[in-house]
Amino acid sequence: MEVRRLDGALGAELLGVDLSEDFPENEIRGALLEHQVVFFRDQRLTPAQFMAFARRMGKPIEYPFVRGIDGYPEVIEVKKLEHERHNFGGIWHSDTTYLEEPPMGSMLLARELPPYGGDTLFANQYQAYDALSDGMKRMLSGMRAVHSDRKVAGPQANKNAHRATKVREDADWRETVNAHPVVATHPETGRKLLYVNASYTVGFEDMTEEESQPLLDYLLAHGHRPEFTCRFRWESGSIAFWDNRVCKHLAIHDAGPFRRVMRRTQIAGGPMR
């Protein structure tokens, strides 16, 4: 396996690997921890093969409010159709951080791609934390942020009117809320990272959302400064596998009147400390 670094901040392509056959799982996991997000090309995987790869990396779990494809509840299809003006994942976020135990990683497999656009950006939250001033680090130490799914699901989110990828908005939906450290420690590397994101973080514990907003706005913008990011250009059969604990990501909505279809799964994690 050849590791080809993609950008200065994070990201590497892993070459010479066929994920439909035997592959060096320990080397892949090591590359993920070193580079935060790894990419594969030309992987024509069936859903069963995609799940087999995911199971070698951990325990695949269902996405809480998007139904999986037939026969594979842990795999969802993320679609942007020709007529749509809104995409899925078009805001800087980490996946499902409103859960008590957010996923350790996510995988995305490209199926159908537009002739241009539709890239994905990733941002390194180790670097985001490291770049904060000593005074800001002291202030954030011990703070906890409140994460909720109410902005992205449920009737009040009003997302399904604009997208082919539908989330739960039925009357039985109930908000899920959990708090995590603003500065978390990665459970495998021991490094500190900034752990807030625009999709799910709504404020800080013991503060109102109005009081929280100025500091939260600063941290959110700081977390995806250009020097902390990499950009991945998809091809059919490409896979991205990112460490959801330390990466934020954003699906760029610039593909014009063209179709984009991806398959996605996520890997179980644990509490953020």
CA atoms of 111 and 47, how far apart (whole Å):
11
- Write down the catalytic residue from 35, 147, 245, 264: 264
Q: State yes or no: is 180 an active-site residue.
A: no
Q: State yes or no: is 93 an active-site residue.
A: yes
**Burial class (CB within 10 angstroms; exposed 0-12, middle 13-18, buried 19+) of 161:** exposed
Q: Are 132 and 121 a contacting pair, CB within 8 Å? A: no
Kindly state the DSSP code that residue 72 receives in the 8-state scheme: B
- Write down the catalytic residue from 186, 224, 249, 253: 249
CA atoms of 225 and 200, how far apart (whole Å):
19
CA atoms of 56 and 133, how far apart (whole Å):
39
Q: State yes or no: is 83 an active-site residue.
A: no
Q: State yes or no: is 95 an active-site residue.
A: yes
96-120 exposure pattern, b = at least 16 Cβ within 10 A, e = fewer: bbbbeebbbbbbbbbbebbeebbeb
- Write down the catalytic residue from 95, 147, 186, 260: 95
| Active site residues per annotation | 93, 95, 249, 264
